[in-house]
Structure 1
C-alpha cells in the first residue's frame, strides 16, 4: 500500500506511530502553494479567493485569501462560503448515483419512469427516450438553451421543482446520445428525481447523505451571497456586483468553504482508492462515474465526460472535475486521481474567471508533482476549413472569411478575429478560441462537420454548414422584434437575404451577451435553430395571443416590441 493511502486512513484506523508521523502535511509544500496563490491574487487583483489543496490524500492547505466584504473590512477565511456555480452538479450527480447504488434508480431507465409528468414534445412521431444516464452526461436532447426564469428576483430554493412541468411545454431538439449539449435544466430535473425517489426535499437529501457523512459543516444547498451568514460578497474589479440567484439550484447554487471543499476532495480521493468514508459511496460507483460515457461520438470531438465528472488530462495524467460560473462567482475543482491530489479554487470577482482559476490550479499541480513522462505529442491536423458560414455549437452563427493572406473568424455582434494555424494544425483566434478541423467521415453525422470549436480548451461544439431556405410568406406575420421580462429580454426574427436563411438575434440581458442563430423551417408554426450542441437546436414556436403574434423560444414567450 502506498504511504499516502495509509495516511488517508490514519484518521479512522489505528496505525503505527511512524506512519502517522510520516503522514503529517508537508509544511514546505504548503507554504510554497500558499505563496503561489498570494502572488497570483496580487497579480490578478481578484478581491477574494478560497483555495483547498489535497496532496497525496492529505489536506495540504485550506484557507482564504483577500476580502469577502470590502465595505466591512472582512477577510476571506477557511470557512467563508463561496457560491460554486456548476461545480454543484457533482453533488447532484453523486446524489443520483447513491440512489442508483441503493437500487432505487436504474441509469438506463427513461426519466419518465420516475417523473411521469415530464412529457416534452417531439418533432417526430417516435417516442424519444431520455434516460438518467443521458441527463447526467448532457446528451439528452433537452434544449441546452432553456432559460425560463433562469435568474430569480426573489430567493426560492424550490422553484426548480417545476422543471418537469415547464420542459413538457417545449420540444426536444434531437435524439438522445448524439452530441454533448450542456444543460442546466437537465440537472434541475435530476434534483426533482432525487427529491421524488427519496421522498424528501432535495436540500434535505443532500445534507443528510453527503454533507453530514463528510462533515461538510459550512456547506449550504442554497443561499444569497453577501446576505446569508458568512458568505462572500460579489465584485467586479473590486466594485460591488450583485450576485445572480439561479433558479436551477441542483445545477449551480451550492455555497461551499475552502475547509469543506478540502474534505470533499479528500473523500473523493479516498473513495476512488478503495477507502470510502462512512460508506457514503462505494468505490465501484465512483469508478463508474469516472468512466467515459458515449466514447467515439463524432460530434463531440475529443471531449470526454463521465457521469457528472468532466474527464481530461494534465500533462498526461488523468484529470477529473468540474467548474462553475455564476458571475461574479467562479470555481474550479480539479482532481488527479492516481496521484491522490486535488485543487479547489473559487473567486468572488469577475477578475477571477474560470480561465484564471484553471491556470492557477494547473500551476499548483505543476508545483507539487514531478514532470510526467507520459505526455504524448498529439498528431498534427492537416485538414482545412473552407470559407463560409457555419452553425457552431455554443456560439450559433459564425463565419470564416479570407482577406488577402489573412483568415478571420467573424462572430456577429462581437467582431472579427485573426486566425493563425498553430503547431498542431488547429486554427487559433485572438480570444482564446480554437477551431479544430474535422477529418472524419461525413456519413457519420446527420450533417457534415467542418470543425469543432473550443474556448479556453473546452468544447463549444461541432460546426456544420448553414442550410439555406427561400423566404416563405407564411412566416411574414412573425418577422420583427420581440421582448420579454425574462433573462432573454429580446429577439429579432428576420430573413437574411445575404445568407438566404431565416435568422434570429437574441439579447441575453444581465449576462451582457448576445446570440445570433440561423433557423430552418419545420412547418407553418415551427422553426428550429440550426446546429448541434450547446445553445442551439431549440424549436421556436410561432403562435398568437389575443390575435397578436408571439414567439416562444427557450421556454420564454416573447411579445411584439412596443417601440
Structure 2
C-alpha cells in the first residue's frame, strides 16, 4: 500500500491541502523569505542555467521579502511532513510536469512520493544526472577495499590511452584516480562529440560507445593535474572504464550487484530498460511544455542513472549502514568519501569529498556540514543533500526544463534545513562569509575577464561595474569586499533581495594574474570558478575562418560553433549547446597560438582548451571537443 506521501495529488485531499496552505501561509512565506539560499553544485550546464534563472526571476518579480515570524518544527513529525509536501506542490504540476521526492527525517523512515503526471500501471523512473557520480565514487572505493586498485594509482595503469594524449607542457606529474574523482585531472571537461546517443540506442550500442571513450581521447590535449578545479564528465566516464577493467565485470552488472541490489533498489539502472518500470517522459518550455526525446548518453558513470525517490531512500539507508561496516562501504571508506580532499589553491573555500560537495552551515553557534550533489541531464534535473551524522536526507528529481527548474535545488535545501530543525531543534544557517585580514577593498584592473560564465568587463567608476550574465552590475563596498547593486529600467529601480545582497565579488592576484571570484552564503568561494584577466592582442586567423560551423552529428550536444572577429580585439567563439529540446550558448575569448590553433582563454570548465583550424575539401573547418565542424 502507498502512504499519503506516496500517492499522486488526490482530489479528495484538496480541501485538506487548502486548509494546510491557509493556516501555514505565513510560515511558508517566512521559510521562503528567510531561508532561500543558493547552494553550490558541480553539474555541467546547471550552474549557468541557475545563474540565468536567478537574475531573470528577480527582474520579473521585483519584490521585497518581508521578515516574518519563523515557525518551529522541532520534534513535530506531522507538521513537518505536511510542510515538506507543500514545498514540492508549489513546483508541480504547473511548472514541472512530474516531480519525485524523498526525505528521511528523525523517525528514520523513508518518506517518498510523486507529484504531477504519473503512469497508471508502471513505476516511473527519473534521470538523476550527475548524482550518478556519487555511485561511481562508491564503486571506486569498493574496489580499493577489494585490493583491485588504489586511489593514488596512476590512471594510466587502467587507461593507458592517456599516454597517447598531447601534453600542453612537459614535466607534468602522473594523473591519479583521486584526481579524476575530485575534478582536478587536467583532462578536458568533456568529449562532446558522441556524448548523446540515439534515444532508440540498444544496450550493446550504448556499452560499446561507453567502452570506446578511452580511444576518443587519443591525440587530444591534457593540462596540468592538481592546478585548478574543472568539472569533467569525461573524467567520470573514464572512471567507469576503470571499474570495468579492474573488476572484470560489465559496468551495469557491477552497479547492480554491488550497489543497487545490496541497497534493495529494484527500479534503478545505468542503462535504459528494466522490468516493471520505465523512464518518465521529459518536457521543456518556458510557457508551453513540449515533450522531448529520451536523453541517452555515452558517459554512463558520469550521469546516466535513472531511479525513483523510494530507491534513493534505500540507497541512502544502505550508505549510512557503512558506519557500522554493514553497508555499501566500510567505515574507513565512508569516512574517506566525506573527508575534505586536497584541492587546488584556486578552489579557495570549496570543499570536496570523493566526489561529494561539502557545504558549511552554522547551528546554535556550531559548524555543521551538509553533503550532496546536483544533477542535470536536461530536461531532467535532480538534487540530493544529506547529513551523514544525523542521517537526515532530502532528494528531488523533476522532468521539466523551464522557469521552475532553478527552484528545485533552492527548495530542496529549504526542505533540508527544516528536516534538520525537526531533528535537532535549531535551524541551520549557511556559514557566514569568512573575515578578510585586510580592511581595504581591493579594486580590480580595468579590462576584460573570462570565467566559466563567459566574458566580463570591469570598469572603474562610482560605483565600478562588472558584467555578469549580460548585466552590468554596480559594485559597492560590503564586508571589505564588493557587493552587487543590480538595477533595471535604465538604472532607476534597484533590486533589493537577500540573495543578491549576500553575493560578493573579490579581486586578488593568483599566480601573477588578476582574478575575481564570485561567492555568497552557501556558495563557497571558488565554486563558480575564477574570472581571469586577459588582454586582447588583435591577432586573428584568416578571415575565411569567421562564420558559423555545423557538425553532422545527429544528436550533438554542441551542434554549432560561431567564430567571429570581436571588435574588442580577440577571436570570439560562441559555443551553442542543445539540451532538453532547448538551446543555450556561452561566448568565450580565444587567442591566436599558431597557424592552426586558437587557445580558449581562462581556467575552468571548457576553458583553456584548443580550437583547431582545418580544411576539408578545401573549405574551412574547426575541430573542437572531439568533433569536426564544417563552415555553413
Compute the TM-score of the two structures, normalised by the length of structure 2.
Answer: 0.74
1:445 matches 2:501: no
Q: Which moved more, 1:188-197 or 1:449-458?
A: 449-458
| Partner Cα distance (1:288, 1:520) in 2 | 41
Change (3 A) 1:135 1:329: same
What corresponds to 1:507 in structure 2? 576
Which residue in the other structure is 1:241 paired with?
291
Q: How does 1:10-159 map to 2 (within 5 A)?
A: 28=78, 31-41=81-91, 45-56=95-106, 58-68=108-118, 74=120, 79-118=123-162, 119-126=164-171, 129-154=174-199, 155=201, 156-158=205-207, 159=209
Residues 228 and 467 of structure 1, relative CA distance in 2, 3 Å threshold: farther
Deviation at 1:196, TM superposition (A): 1.1
Which residue number in structure 1 is paired with residue 277 of structure 2? 229
Displacement, 1:59? 2.1
Q: Equivalent residues in 2 for 1:537-548 (5 A)?
A: 537-548=608-619
Q: CA deviation at 1:515?
A: 1.8
Deviation at 1:98, TM superposition (A): 0.8
Aligned to 1:10: none
The match for 1:400 is 458
In structure 2, distance between residues paired with 1:281 and 1:197 = 18
Deviation at 1:135, TM superposition (A): 0.7
Q: Do the aligned partners of residues 506 and 39 (structure 1) sit closer, same or farther apart at CA in structure 2, a change above 3 Å counting?
A: closer
Instruction: State the secondary structure of the residue aligned to 2:210.
Output: helix
Indicate if the aligned counterparts of 1:454 and 1:460 stay in contact, CA closer than 8 A: no
Q: Which moved more, 1:178-187 or 1:123-132?
A: 123-132
Report the Cα distance in structure 2 between the residues aligned to 1:54 and 1:317, rounded to whole angstroms.
18
Show the counterpart of 2:550: 483
- Unaligned runs of at least 5 residues, structure 2: 1-74, 487-494
Q: State the Cα deviation string for residues 477-511 of structure 1 (Å, max 9, x = none).
A: 5344322133322223233342x222222222345
2:250 maps to 1:201: yes
- Give the Å deviation of 1:267: 2.1
Residue in 2 that maps onto 1:183 = 232
CA distance in 2, matches of 1:91, 1:349: 24
Q: Which residue of 1 is the match for residue 69 of structure 2? A: none
How many angstroms does 1:95 deviate by? Answer: 0.8
1:36-83 Cα deviation digits (max 9, x unpaired): 3354335963222111111247124122222135xxxx49x9x53111
Structure 1 contact 402–408 (Cα < 8 Å) conserved = no
2:613 aligned with 1:554: no
Q: Matched residues in 1 for 2:405 and 2:614: separation?
A: 40
RMSD: 3.1
- 2:422 is the counterpart of 1:371: no
Normalising by the residue count of structure 1, what TM-score does the alignment of the two structures yield? 0.83
CA distance in 1, matches of 2:182, 2:139: 15
* 2:409 maps to 1:358: yes
Distance 1:535-1:317 versus aligned 2 partners, 3 A rule: same
Within the alignment, does 1:298 sit opposite 2:345 as a pair? yes
> What is the rounded CA distance, in whole Å, between the counterparts of 2:78 and 2:410 in structure 1?
22
Give aligned pairs, total.
517
- Give 2:216's aligned residue: 166
CA distance in 2, matches of 1:280, 1:268: 5
The question of whether the paired residues in 1 share the 8 Å contact of 2:361 and 2:428 is answered with no
Q: Is the 8 A contact 2:433 2:520 kept in 1?
A: no
Gaps of 5+ in 1: 1-24
The CA distance in 1 between the partners of 2:548 and 2:288, in whole Å, is 37
Partner of 2:473: 418
Q: Which runs of 4+ in 1 moved over 6 A?
A: 431-435, 453-456
Q: CA, structure 1 residues 215+186, in 2 after alignment: closer, same or farther (shift >3 Å)? A: same
Shift in Å at residue 186 of structure 1?
1.0
Q: SS in structure 2 opposite 1:457? A: coil
Determine if contact 1:145/1:538 at 8 Å carries over to the other structure.
Answer: no
